[in-house]
Structure 1
């Protein structure tokens, strides 16, 4: 099953959703700002992406700059920050089985569907 972690207010996320809609494939949409992702689920997603947690953080977000920037944070603390403040996560994230990508650019999604 393909899953897109989607933020409807984000243009890139909407582009990713449109790409999936046009693909004809079945997929699930999780609006992660409304349906928070658990720490365990986010750890799994980070692992599937093949990234360090910090690489998934939107570092220009005000909450990152005010509360986290410049601090020596562990991976676990970064994961907790994204769970607490989900808008810190890059988006959209698309997961298909044991593969995942950040849909920036949206063409990245084509690599796993």
Structure 2
């Protein structure tokens, strides 16, 4: 199996190279051309499709939709000049911290 971090890194790099590209030639360029709001809506659509697959679909459908969520999340982050690696770094920061404690800390900060 290919290293998952390598796949994420290649995906992020590909997304970056498509910024400013021709929307007629690239789906990623089309997402960028329509702006972060559009990319956010696409992510929302994919998230709903993932939930539907989790509730009523096959494992293959769920995995496919999960991949779509990761892809569209990567595009949205890039549209905001962030990267999936920023989200992964945040997960690393949270590692070993109770989910309840982490959520309470965010709530006490007004998030």
TM range (shorter): under 0.3
Structure whose residues are more often strand by fraction: 1
Structure whose residues are more often helix by fraction: 2
Highest RCO, 1 vs 2 (Cα 8 Å, sep ≥ 6): 1
Q: TM-score, normalised by structure 1?
A: 0.26
**Structure with the greater alpha carbon radius of gyration:** 2
Q: TM-score, normalised by structure 2?
A: 0.26
